[in-house]
């Protein structure tokens, strides 16, 4: 079914209509309640503090990126390193006060640990060969990459206990935690995500509030004791309590809740000594709790907004439940091959097991279409322009990329080269970033491709902005990718390949069509009808058919382009319907592109189920 024809389906039309009505009502309610925006200056940023190690020493910076998971400066990101026990339990300054004296900094791709009476230790930031540990933090499970034995021994010696402590690092592709996701009185915060922060990615405090508190104590306190990220000057004491939404430069912050304080505030950040008394006792006696965040629903405007939203969403939910039939899983095939193409247009790597992530298949350090060849001006280069690229093998091991090709010596370069520039690349009329892999890789590619032009290798890193491949197609779902043409996963059946090969003088293999998942035990082109499938725990949603181009005429064994077969034969019997010509034009259809609805692990031999 053409995606544009979905609205002709009666059930879909009713569902979309009901959803539209519910959301329209909610939108009108919000519009009615919300007054026009007015910006009022309330203060000035006087200090920016990043705490790379949870409970560790703060790093004061003049400039910081404000990201979804908190402040970032160079290789440092707030609360992205964590100390845990051997069992994965979080260790903070509440249990080990001397952690506040530990400094964690980053430079040149390495982490430096410093502490009183200890020699500094440096270890690599990225250690992909180390295991990922499941850690327990505030009743939530969260992952962390173990930073190795040297870091473990350093921490264990520093803390001076018989227990073993480990340092873990939250990496960009790891699943975040939702600290308020299970709180029934905080449904509007169910999408609020953090790494190793207690509750939120950004904490704000004013200088005036600090001075007010210090004036009530025998000995004043500094901002570092309370571990904020942003310190505000030029405002009244506790003015920040009333700022529901603020703007600083281009950054917008929404107030989540007040920060309730615990015994950690009694740890002196200069000595690492815990008193278990001040300033906590004074805070309790003078300030108490003006409004419990759970009492926000008593606010008239909040109650009206939440009530209206709840009613609209409840109606929408009931409509969906009424219209949607129970799911039915029907076995339609089996996974016969998993292929990862780390280098766009490069040689495929066949694997027995792969993670299926939002951006495609991953095996170890290899991720599908995450390396790209570009010209000096950033335009992508594929097998369409340089057919011999299909003979280039890119593999990874021990934190290094290996390039191999005919009549070329293998080249190894580090995967992570943070000192290299980020290049703006042009992929199908869309800009996307890539980290330059360096001069050696550039010279290798330029020699291999044998032209006078200079070619460069770039790497898509986890924190880079993805590109939306369907932004110009409003009737297709949003699809975010790195360097693939359209979808993160391409699927093709063995039977379809056999059908095509039977029409050709010389048969073709799956590698010519560059799928990620090859399916056996099904009829030819059965995959065309699978709108949603499940493989193990992975769910894939069909995006569109894969329109084929001249790249299919490149022989993956020789790197020679014929510009004829199998494209001509495909055009003779695999063209789209007339109603779809505005999408596929004259391209024949072979294989199906999918988005990832639920991530998981795929194995060769897994059964494939169609969801109906």
- Tens of pLDDT along 354-383? 999 999 999 999 999 999 999 999 999 999
Q: Identify the pLDDT of residue 295.
A: 39
pLDDT digit string (tens) for 244-261? Answer: 999 998 899 999 889 989
Q: Identify the pLDDT of residue 398.
A: 87
The CA-atom distances, in angstroms, between 484 and each of 347, 468, 479, 546, 548 are 14, 11, 11, 12, 14
The answer to whether 192 touches 200, Cβ cutoff 8 Å, is: yes
Specify the 3-state DSSP secondary structure of 565: coil
Q: With bands split at pLDDT 50, 70 and 90, how would you rate the model's confidence at 110?
A: very high
pLDDT of 292 higher than 70: no
Q: Identify the pLDDT of residue 541.
A: 95
Task: Give 478's Cβ-side CA count (13 Å radius).
Answer: 5
Q: Identify the pLDDT of residue 472.
A: 60
Q: With bands split at pLDDT 50, 70 and 90, how would you rate the model's confidence at 296?
A: very low
What is the average per-residue pLDDT within 70-80? 93
Specify the 3-state DSSP secondary structure of 377: coil
The answer to whether 392 touches 347, Cβ cutoff 8 Å, is: yes
Contacts of residue 408, defined as CB under 8 A and 6 or more positions apart, other chains included, come to: 444, 447, 448
- Nearest of 526, 524, 530 to residue 503 by alpha carbon: 524
Radius of gyration of the chain (CA): 28
The better pLDDT of the pair 570, 35 is held by 570
pLDDT of 45 higher than 90: yes
What is the average per-residue pLDDT within 234-253? 93
DSSP state at residue 511: G
The answer to whether 147 touches 168, Cβ cutoff 8 Å, is: yes
Q: Identify the pLDDT of residue 109.
A: 87
What is the average per-residue pLDDT within 326-352? 95
What is the average per-residue pLDDT within 436-441? 97
Contacts of residue 227, defined as CB under 8 A and 6 or more positions apart, other chains included, come to: 49, 51, 58, 203
pLDDT of 88 higher than 80: yes
- Residue 514 structure tokens: 């560059």
Q: With bands split at pLDDT 50, 70 and 90, how would you rate the model's confidence at 68?
A: confident
Question: What share of the chain has pLDDT > 70, as a percent?
Answer: 84
What is the average per-residue pLDDT within 393-400? 94
pLDDT of 451 higher than 80: no
pLDDT of 151 higher than 80: yes
Phi-psi region of 525 (alpha: psi -120 to 50; beta: other; left: phi over 0): left
Long-range own/partner contacts, residues 144-153 (CB < 8 A, 24 or more apart): 144/82, 144/84, 144/168, 144/169, 144/170, 144/174, 144/196, 145/169, 145/170, 145/171, 145/174, 147/81, 147/111, 147/123, 148/123, 150/121, 150/123, 151/111, 151/113, 151/121, 151/123
The answer to whether 538 touches 586, Cβ cutoff 8 Å, is: no
- Residue 205 structure tokens: 């405090």
Q: Identify the pLDDT of residue 275.
A: 92
pLDDT digit string (tens) for 50-62? Answer: 999 999 999 999 9
Q: With bands split at pLDDT 50, 70 and 90, how would you rate the model's confidence at 184?
A: very low
pLDDT of 13 higher than 80: no
Least confident of 89-103, 205-219, 325-339, 473-487: 473-487
CA 138 vs. chain centroid, Å, equals: 22
The better pLDDT of the pair 299, 480 is held by 480
At residue 292, what are phi and psi to the nearest 5 degrees? -60, 135
Q: Give 16-77 as a 3 state SS string.
A: HHHHHHHHHHHHHHHHHHCCCCCCCCCCEEEEEEECCECCCCCEEECCCEEECCEEEECCEE
At residue 554, what are phi and psi to the nearest 5 degrees? -85, 125
Question: What share of the chain has pLDDT > 90, as a percent?
Answer: 69
Q: Identify the pLDDT of residue 540.
A: 96
Element (H, E) at 569: helix 567-573
Q: Identify the pLDDT of residue 227.
A: 96
Q: Identify the pLDDT of residue 341.
A: 98
pLDDT digit string (tens) for 501-510? Answer: 999 999 999 9
pLDDT of 588 higher than 90: yes
Q: With bands split at pLDDT 50, 70 and 90, how would you rate the model's confidence at 187?
A: very low
d(CA 537, CA 349): 23
The answer to whether 489 touches 593, Cβ cutoff 8 Å, is: yes
The answer to whether 423 touches 455, Cβ cutoff 8 Å, is: no
Q: With bands split at pLDDT 50, 70 and 90, how would you rate the model's confidence at 28?
A: low
CA 20 vs. chain centroid, Å, equals: 29
d(CA 70, CA 228): 11
The answer to whether 193 touches 140, Cβ cutoff 8 Å, is: no
Lookup result for tokens 């690092």: 169
Q: Identify the pLDDT of residue 43.
A: 96
What is the average per-residue pLDDT within 94-123? 95
- Maximum Cα–Cα distance across the chain: 92
Q: Identify the pLDDT of residue 190.
A: 45
Q: Identify the pLDDT of residue 38.
A: 83
Domain boundaries, the chain: 51-169, 204-287, 337-611
d(CA 354, CA 282): 55
d(CA 570, CA 566): 6
Q: With bands split at pLDDT 50, 70 and 90, how would you rate the model's confidence at 320?
A: low
Q: Identify the pLDDT of residue 10.
A: 46
Per the prediction, the chain carries an average pLDDT of 87
Q: With bands split at pLDDT 50, 70 and 90, how would you rate the model's confidence at 314?
A: low
Q: Identify the pLDDT of residue 278.
A: 93
Q: With bands split at pLDDT 50, 70 and 90, how would you rate the model's confidence at 294?
A: very low
The CA-atom distances, in angstroms, between 392 and each of 30, 409, 442 are 55, 12, 14
């Amino acid at each position: 079914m053409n995606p544009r024809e979905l609205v002709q389906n009666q059930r879909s039309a009713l569902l979309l209509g009901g959803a539209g009505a519910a959301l329209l009502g909610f939108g009108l309610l919000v519009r009615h309640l919300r007054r026009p925006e007015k910006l009022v200056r309330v203060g000035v940023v006087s200090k920016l503090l990043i705490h790379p190690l949870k409970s560790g020493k703060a790093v004061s910076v003049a400039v910081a990126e404000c990201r979804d998971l908190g402040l970032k400066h160079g290789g440092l990101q707030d609360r992205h390193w964590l100390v845990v026990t051997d069992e994965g339990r979080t260790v903070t300054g509440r249990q080990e006060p001397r952690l506040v004296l530990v400094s964690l900094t980053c430079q040149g791709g390495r982490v430096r640990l410093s502490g009183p009476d200890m020699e500094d230790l440096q270890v690599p930031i990225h250690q992909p060969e180390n295991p990922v540990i499941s850690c327990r933090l505030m009743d939530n499970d969260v992952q962390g990459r173990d930073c190795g034995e040297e870091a473990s021994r350093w921490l264990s010696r520093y803390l001076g206990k018989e227990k073993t402590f480990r340092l873990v690092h939250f990496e960009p592709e790891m699943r975040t935690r939702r600290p308020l996701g299970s709180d029934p009185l905080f449904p509007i915060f169910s999408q609020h995500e953090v790494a190793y922060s207690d509750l939120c990615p950004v904490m704000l405090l004013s200088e005036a509030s600090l001075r007010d508190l210090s004036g009530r104590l025998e000995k004043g306190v500094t901002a570092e004791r309370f571990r904020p990220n942003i310190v505000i000057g030029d405002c009244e004491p506790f003015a920040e309590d009333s700022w529901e939404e603020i703007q600083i430069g281009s950054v917008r912050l929404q107030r989540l809740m007040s920060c309730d304080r615990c015994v950690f505030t009694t740890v002196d950040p200069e000595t690492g000594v815990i008193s278990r008394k001040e300033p906590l006792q004074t805070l309790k006696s003078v300030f108490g709790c003006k409004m419990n965040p759970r009492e926000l629903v008593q606010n008239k405007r909040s109650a009206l907004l939440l009530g209206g939203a709840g009613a609209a969403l409840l109606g929408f939910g009931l409509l969906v439940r009424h219209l949607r039939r129970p799911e039915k899983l029907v076995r339609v095939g089996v996974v016969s091959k998993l292929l990862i193409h780390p280098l766009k247009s490069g040689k495929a790597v066949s694997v027995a097991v792969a993670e299926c992530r939002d951006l495609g298949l991953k095996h170890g350090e290899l991720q599908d279409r995450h390396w790209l060849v570009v010209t000096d001006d950033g335009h992508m280069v594929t097998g369409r322009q340089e057919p011999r690229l299909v003979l280039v093998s890119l593999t990874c091991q021990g934190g290094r990329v290996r390039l191999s090709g005919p009549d070329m010596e293998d080249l190894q370069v580090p995967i992570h080269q943070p000192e290299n520039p980020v290049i703006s690349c042009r992929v199908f009329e869309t800009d996307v970033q890539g980290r330059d892999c360096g001069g050696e890789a550039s010279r290798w590619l330029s020699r291999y491709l044998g032209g006078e032009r200079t070619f460069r290798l770039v790497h898509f890193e986890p924190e880079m902005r993805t590109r939306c491949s369907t932004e110009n197609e409003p009737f297709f779902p949003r699809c975010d990718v790195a360097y693939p043409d359209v979808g993160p996963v391409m699927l093709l059946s063995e039977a379809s390949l056999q059908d095509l090969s039977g029409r050709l003088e010389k048969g073709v293999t799956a590698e010519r069509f560059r799928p990620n998942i090859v399916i056996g035990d099904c009829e030819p082109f059965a995959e065309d009808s699978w709108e949603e499938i499940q493989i193990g725990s992975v769910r894939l949603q069909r995006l569109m058919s894969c329109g084929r181009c001249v790249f299919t005429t490149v022989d993956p064994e020789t790197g020679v382009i014929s510009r004829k077969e199998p494209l001509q034969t495909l055009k003779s019997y695999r063209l789209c319907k007339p109603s779809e010509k505005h999408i596929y034009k004259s391209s024949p259809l072979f294989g199906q592109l999918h988005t990832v609805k639920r991530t998981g692990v795929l194995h060769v031999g897994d059964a494939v189920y169609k969801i109906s």
